[in-house]
Amino acid sequence: MCKCKINNFFVQYIELARTGRKISVPLWRIVKAILYKLKTGVQWKHLPMRQFFGFTKYSWESVYYHFNKWSQTGVWAQCYRRLIVDNRSKLDMSLVNLDGTHTPAIR
């Protein structure tokens, strides 16, 4: 999948609000900023906004607002499930390495 297809994949699951303010930037730009944050682990306030939105005035708080709203409505979980179902044949679970980093230690 090329990057443009990935961004459009996420956008198709997002429902636009019928009331309230209209979004001043395309949804795929917001999705791209969120995916960058999730991939790199950068703090929200350190997102390179000019890289994603050019000279359009858009704040990191707005990007976080959309991420939070879509998380609560289940958009990200729905996208994750769809990606797993669509790419199940490409997953090789025989190569999964598990360790005890997430195992609770009793004493």
Q: Are 30 and 65 in contact, with CB atoms under 8 Å apart?
A: no
Does residue 64 fall inside a structural domain?
yes
Residues of the chain with pLDDT under 50: 1-2
Domain that holds residue 47: 30-73
Closest CA to 58 of 46, 50, 67, 66: 50
The count of domains in the chain is 1
Does residue 45 fall inside a structural domain?
yes
Does residue 53 fall inside a structural domain?
yes
Does residue 66 fall inside a structural domain?
yes
Q: Are 79 and 7 in contact, with CB atoms under 8 Å apart?
A: no
Q: What pLDDT shows up at residue 2?
A: 45
Does residue 36 fall inside a structural domain?
yes
Q: What pLDDT shows up at residue 1?
A: 47
